[in-house]
Amino acid sequence: MLYKNIKKIYHDIFMSYAHPELGTHIKKIMELDVYLPYSSTFFCITNTQDLTFEFVSKNMTACLGLEKNVLLKEGMRNFWSRIHPEDIELWLRGLNDLMEFTLAEIPVNHRYQMSYTWNYRLKNAQDEYVNIIQNTTPLEFDAEMKPIIGLAHYTVMDINIQMPITVTAKLLNENNEYETKYFNNYSQKLLTDGLSNRERDVIRLLTLHNSSKEIADLLNISPNTVDTHRRNILKKLNISSTGELIGMLKMNTNFL
């Protein structure tokens, strides 16, 4: 796909354009390191109006071998040029669906508490593709409450890990726990597509070593409901224990 076509579609998604409490969002992002195979990460602040990076953390070079000054100068055009050609259309479709879902289903006063995750393959400085999981928290909104500035957290994964293109939207609730509001898989269907959003939340909290009672408190449901979700999860995934579940997560981290 040509850059000018990407730029038009991207602008269509974010067209027509406030600070949440960032500390809690960042703390929740850091929890991902508990179950990811390794933590090769960097941060950027993205501007969807100007298609620029307002900030790029110094660890980006260690992760990808790219010079951050180039990204700061050339912006998203440089970054997009490195996305795998087979992933661009799926990535843009996912962004569009996340935006449409947010505008249609998330009340304005809750959009400050949203967090979005998607993934794609990206070419590093050695011209080798790696998997990228991107988690973005909105920082600034336009007059219509569309996000225009975001804090993006990137985790670099080995290309040998098979990762379908997925997108997720989560809401930070009053207990400072993320609840999955939207999930979609744009690649081949997996068994995990049969999981409900609530079951994904239970799985994520189990991998953080929370008990059923603790999960119940965080998600505002009863311990009996949590236990029911746990049984259904094991049955749907055809596994026998939480330990086996965590092992599966290490090979398929992006569906949470």
Which of 38, 39, 40, 75 shows the shortest CA–CA distance to 56? 75
d(Cα 164, Cα 66) in Å, to the nearest integer? 25
Write the single-letter amino acid at 12: D
Across the beta sheet with 129-141, the strand order is 52-56, 41-47, 147-157, 129-141, 114-123, 166-172, 178-185
Q: What is the pLDDT of residues 139-158, one digit of tens each?
A: 888 877 878 888 898 999 88
Question: Rounded to whole angstroms, how far apart are CA atoms 201 and 237?
Answer: 15
Q: What confidence score (pLDDT) does residue 115 get?
A: 93
Q: What is the mean pLDDT of residues 195-200?
A: 87
pLDDT in the model for residue 38 = 43
Note the pLDDT of residue 241: 77
Residue type at 154?
Y
Output the pLDDT for position 15: 52
| Separation between Cα atoms, residue 206 and residue 230, nearest integer Å | 9
pLDDT over threshold 50, residue 42: yes
How sure is the predictor about 17, in pLDDT bands with cuts at 50, 70 and 90?
very low
Please count the other Cβ atoms lying within 10 Å of the Cβ belonging to residue 208. 14
Q: What is the pLDDT at residue 180?
A: 94
Q: What is the pLDDT of residues 64-122, one digit of tens each?
A: 999 989 998 999 889 989 999 999 888 988 989 999 999 999 998 898 899 999 999 99
| pLDDT given for residue 251 in this prediction | 55
Q: Please tell me the least confidently modeled range out of 17-21, 49-53, 95-99.
A: 17-21
pLDDT attached to residue 7: 57
- Give the residue-averaged pLDDT of 22-51: 65
Contact in structure between 154 and 42 (CB atoms under 8 Å) = yes
Q: How far apart are CA 240 and CA 171, in angstroms?
A: 30
